């Protein structure tokens, strides 16, 4: 053991010797502590150790105690600091965990997309909203998020859908009628306004234009140098002609595309039906012509769950930020429609409630009505079961205004009504309750009509 006089001399005259002595005494202090712990239980510690613990020993003992306490204090600071979490994660990774678990332990995302929003392909894309004015369960949006580094969402008020520049009366005088009157136009305005608000809350925004999509989409592709355009493919002849016009226009306008790439229009099936076109157990040309036979073939077909809602969207392309105006939502007069001054332009559901356009409004109505038809909001009485059956069967008709613009997906409605039973069922045949099965058969009418129109469109070409 080092004499107290040597320790005092070292501390007073040489910092180097004091540090060496302190390290040596700390080590000896550790050894003395181990000796005390290794002894049999119940034995009294040695006098030097007792004096050290009470702070009454000689100078060397006090120095040893002070050094040991200081080292312990520093060790406690390290163990209670954020470095403790990191060291724990690294130790778990070193024990042989996989890359996904290692990423989760390190607090990193397993998504290959970098946090900056850069996608795997590095391409800019245009997302063309049509009859899918929602963020949840949107196949076109999901594909754009996977394949593009930046996305420019767009909605076009096509003047051919409304009165046009000549006004609705001028169109009707020529023997042609508007596909969308003032009521549906006002409902569409609300839905587009709600979609823009939703996109902004997720880190993006919506470009709104008035005109023909085949004129607007290629121009926006040139401005942001986009190589991919995503949309929900439609099945009617008129809508398919518009898609073909857009596809032809973007391919003929490749002046800003670099690297020899050709612009492409990616049509997605969407979620306007219970079943995806790729999941039906028959070829479209051999599809049953009556609804009963159609239902029999699809009873055992899988109904896939709705896609997850993204928590954050890709930003606009860099060339669009601060350079491309968002555009204003047009008024009815700008769309060439006459607004009746004596009437409120409100679409009502079958039960008399006002239908306001937008995804959140649709989901709120769906949640409230599904809870009602399940019995939570129905009065108790003899006709309780009958009211439930009627409410479930009529729910698709109540949601018709929102279904028409895609403010809510059919799969999401199925998920909300079936609830927990959806986890154990993947087809209509597996649903046990009669009213829930009737509800799915009502939704299946949308599949039947959409597939039938697609079949007729293919037969006419």
Instruction: Round to whole Å and give the CA distance between 16 and 264.
Output: 74
Instruction: Round to whole Å and give the CA distance between 131 and 404.
Output: 7
| 31 annotated ligand-binding residue | no
**Which residues are within 8 A (CB) of 249 and not within 5 positions of it... i.e. 6 or more apart?**
214, 215, 217, 218
User: Which strands make up the sheet holding 264-268, listed edge to edge?
Assistant: 207-210, 150-157, 124-129, 228-232, 264-268
Describe the crossing of helices 359-373 and 384-398 by its angle, rounded to 10 degrees: 160
Q: How many residues are given for the chain?
A: 461
Distances (CA, A) of 189 to 252, 330, 361, 370: 32, 8, 14, 26
Which of helix, strand or coil describes residue 347? strand
Distances (CA, A) of 203 to 92, 153, 312, 314: 35, 12, 6, 7
Cβ–Cβ < 8 Å for 408, 355: no
| 433 annotated ligand-binding residue | no
- Output the CA torsion sign for 346, 347, 350, 354: negative
Element (H or E) spanning 354, and its range?
Answer: strand 354-355
| 238 annotated ligand-binding residue | no
| 449 annotated ligand-binding residue | yes
State how far Cα 458 lies from the chain centre.
34
| 160 annotated ligand-binding residue | no
CA angle 70, 72, 77 (to 5 degrees): 95
Residue appearing with tokens 């190589």: 227
Cβ–Cβ < 8 Å for 159, 212: yes
Instruction: Round to whole Å and give the CA distance between 452 and 445.
Output: 10
Residue appearing with tokens 């009707």: 172
| 448 annotated ligand-binding residue | yes
| 205 annotated ligand-binding residue | no
| 415 annotated ligand-binding residue | no
| 446 annotated ligand-binding residue | yes
Q: Which residues are annotated as a binding site?
A: 439, 442-449
Q: What are the binding residues for FAD?
A: 439, 442-449
């Amino acid at each position: 053991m080092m004499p107290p006089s040597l320790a005092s001399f070292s501390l007073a005259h040489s910092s180097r010797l004091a540090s060496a002595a302190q390290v040596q005494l700390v080590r000896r202090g550790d050894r003395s502590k181990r000796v005390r712990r290794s002894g049999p239980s119940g034995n009294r510690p040695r006098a030097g150790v007792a004096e050290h613990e009470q702070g009454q020993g000689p100078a060397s003992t006090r120095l040893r105690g002070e050094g040991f306490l200081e080292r312990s204090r520093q060790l406690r600071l390290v163990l209670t600091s954020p470095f403790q979490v990191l060291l724990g994660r690294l130790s778990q990774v070193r024990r042989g965990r996989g890359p996904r678990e290692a990423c989760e332990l390190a607090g990193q995302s397993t998504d290959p997309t970098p946090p900056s929003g850069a996608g795997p392909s590095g391409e800019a894309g245009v997302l063309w909203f049509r009859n899918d004015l929602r963020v949840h369960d949107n196949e076109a949006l999901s594909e754009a998020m996977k394949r593009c580094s930046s996305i420019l969402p767009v909605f076009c008020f096509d003047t051919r859908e409304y009165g046009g520049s000549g006004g609705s009366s001028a169109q009707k005088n020529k023997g042609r009628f508007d596909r969308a009157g003032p009521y549906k136009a006002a409902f569409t305005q609300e839905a587009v306004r709600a979609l823009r608000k939703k996109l902004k809350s997720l880190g993006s925004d919506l470009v709104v234009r008035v005109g023909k999509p085949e004129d607007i989409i290629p121009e926006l592709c040139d401005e942001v140098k986009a190589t991919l355009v995503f949309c929900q493919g439609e099945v009617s002849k008129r809508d398919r002609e518009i898609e073909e016009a857009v596809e032809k226009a973007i391919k003929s306008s490749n002046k800003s595309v670099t690297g020899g790439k050709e612009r492409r229009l990616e049509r997605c099936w969407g979620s306007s039906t219970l079943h995806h076109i790729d999941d039906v157990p028959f070829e479209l040309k051999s599809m049953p012509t009556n609804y009963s036979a159609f239902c029999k073939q699809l009873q055992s077909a899988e109904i896939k769950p709705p896609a997850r809602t993204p928590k954050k969207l890709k930003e606009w392309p860099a060339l669009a930020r601060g350079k491309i105006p968002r555009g204003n939502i047009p008024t009815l007069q700008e769309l060439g429609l006459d607004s009746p001054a004596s009437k409120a332009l409100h679409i009502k559901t079958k039960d008399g409630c006002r239908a306001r356009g937008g995804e959140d409004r649709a989901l709120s109505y769906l949640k409230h009505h599904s809870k009602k038809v399940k019995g939570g909001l129905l009065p108790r009485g003899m006709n309780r079961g009958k009211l439930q059956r009627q409410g479930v069967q009529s729910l698709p008709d109540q949601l018709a205004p929102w279904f028409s613009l895609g403010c809510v997906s059919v799969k999401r409605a199925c998920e909300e009504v079936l609830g927990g039973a959806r986890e154990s069922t993947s087809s209509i045949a597996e649903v046990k309750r009669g009213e829930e099965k009737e509800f799915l058969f009502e939704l299946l009418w949308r599949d039947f009509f959409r597939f039938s129109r697609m079949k007729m469109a293919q037969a006419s070409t």
